[in-house]
Each structure stands twice: as structure tokens, then as C-alpha cells.
Amino acid sequence: MERNVLHIKPEWLLRRSAVLRCLLLLLIILLGRGPVWAQQDPMFTQYMNNILSINPAYASVGSTIELNLLSRNQWVGIEGAPVTQSLSGMMPLNNLHTGVGLSFITDKIGPVRQTGAYVDYSFKVRMDYRTYLSFGLKAGVNYYNTDYSILEVNDQGDPLLADDVTRKILPNFGIGVFFYNERLFAGISVPKLMENQIHETGYSSQLASKEEMHFFAIGGYVFDINRDVKFKPYTMVKCVPNSPISVDLSAHLLFYERLWVGANWRIGDAVGAMAQMFVTKQLKVGYAYDVTATDLNSFNKGTHEILLNFVVNTGRRRYMSPRYF
């Protein structure tokens, strides 16, 4: 689900702008003040091009230097809706059995902004011919910043909004495992193991908030339709305590090793379409568009996502084409 936070009846939404402000405030409280009923980490439709951000074991998969830039504007048309940018890079070390990665992510929703920077280290062991199992560690910090003074509120002096600005630096670390060969890939990971406290308890035991652990599982397979067309179904499952399980089902067709065309279904939440094209052997550009399946559909213009992927060929042999995963 996209953030798994909104279950609003259509008649309640008819109050337009004032209600949308209340809805945004409720979403923020759910994310940052109350018991976690939502998924805190941002979601990408083109998550296959951002595996490093959720699984550090991916850092040793390739044998070239790769850079990825993703920009996502969610629920366009709703003031204060989520806006997310991610920049990540990875490179192999000299023996090609280890790799390092670096990722930056910024996520803004209303008055809440999170900025994270993480370093990844991964090593892999050979299981069989071109079949590997990699292990990874992630470490970094997340800068959490809220400024409730920008909100329009009806109840002045609300104790929930008493602290106009909250700033915290939250260190964290994570682990992951990734299995792959020429056609099959699967991984499990927990990118944040520490449940850092964000807001202290002050009004009741129910008002504490913290970073919840997110558990990810990802997998897929690449089939040959014919010499020029390949088919790649894949999925991602995300589990967060006190939140519904999120399941993404996706499929891509690859034409002539150059053009990816696919679709995505986030069960119970959204459907989308995407296309990615290799402009050159080193540069890939992509675009994805989501339409929400919730009651918010009538109040936004969809979600847009842009991808840039750049590969620096170091001359080393690749064990797996980077175009598959």
C-alpha cells in the first residue's frame, strides 16, 4: 500500500480544502505522533532500480559502477502530499566479491521532512556456476525535522502541536541477504534495526512515536519469450508492525535488450504503468505513473516518478546483465 494510511469515506471528503487539511494533519499524526499504524519509509514504483536503499546485500551484485536517481511526486494536486528523491550509487571492490554503496534520500510530507544518508558494505560467496549469495550491512543517519507552525489549525494550544519544531538525528543500521543467478533473484532485509524514539511521551502512553522496523522480501525471474523479448515478473512484500502487509506485484517486458515496458499493482492501493529505455549502453531513463485505488483518487492527479540510471563500465566482466535486475 502507498503509505497505508488513508481509509476515508467519499462523503467525508466532500468538505474539500478544509477537510483535506485535516486529513493531512491526521496522516502526519499517524506517521509521527501516535502508535504506528502506517509505513514510515517512502515507497517507489520503480523499486527494482532502488534495491540498494532497502537491501545492503545488493551492493556486491554488479561489476560496474552504477548511479541511480529517483524522483517521486505522490498524489499530485493535494497540498503537502509526499515528495521523495533518492540518489544511490554502488561499486565493486578489486576482487569483485565485495562491494560498497552509498545512498541519500529525502522525503517530505506536509511539515515533516526526513533526510537520510547511508553507507553499505556487501560480500558474496559463490554457490554454483554464476550463482551467488551476498550478505550486506547498512549504517547511517536519518535527520528528522518537523515544523508544525506552517499548519493551519482550528484548536490553538493543542498539546499535540505544542512543540512547533522538532529536530532529531537518528542513527541506524540494517542487514540484508540477496541470492541470484542469471535469471533468478531473491532477497530479504531489514534496513533499519534500531527503533529510535522520535517524540517523547508527554500526554499519554499512546503518544510516543518511534522508527519501526521494516521487513522486506523481494524476488523475481527472467523468462525468454523469444530471442528478442524477455519477460520479468517480480514482487516485493513489506511488513511493518501494526500496519497491513504491503504487496507489490510487477511485470516487465524487455524488447531487444533496450526497452522495458511494464505494470505494477500494489494490492488494495494503486495500479501503475512504467517504461524504461536505454538511451545509450550507459544511460537508462524511466518514467512511472500510478493511479490510487483508494477514495483519494478523485482528489489528486496521480503519482509521477522519474528515473535516471548511469553505468560506468570499468572493463570488468559482468556476471549478470544490469538490465535484468
pLDDT single digits (tens) 43-65: 899 999 899 999 999 999 988 89
Most confident of 1-5, 9-13, 20-24, 197-201: 197-201
Is pLDDT of 19 > 50?
A: no
Is pLDDT of 207 > 60?
A: no
pLDDT at 281: 85
pLDDT in tens, 66-122: 999 999 998 888 888 889 999 999 999 977 799 999 999 999 988 889 999 999 999
- What is the rounded distance in angstroms from the CA atom of residue 198 to the CA atom of residue 93? 36
CB atoms within 10 A of CB 74: 24
Half-sphere exposure of 38 (CA within 13 A, CB side): 20
Domain parsing of the chain, residue ranges: 41-193+211-324
Q: Please give the span between the terminal C-alpha atoms of the chain, in angstroms, as a whole number.
A: 23
pLDDT at 157: 62
In the three-class reduction of DSSP (H, G, I as helix; E, B as strand; rest coil), residue 253 is classed as strand
pLDDT at 301: 84
- What is the rounded distance in angstroms from the CA atom of residue 92 to the CA atom of residue 106? 25
Q: How confident is the model at residue 153 (pLDDT cuts 50, 70, 90)?
A: low
Is pLDDT of 156 > 70?
A: no
pLDDT at 308: 97
Q: Please name the CATH architecture into which domain 41-193+211-324 falls.
A: Beta Barrel (2.40)
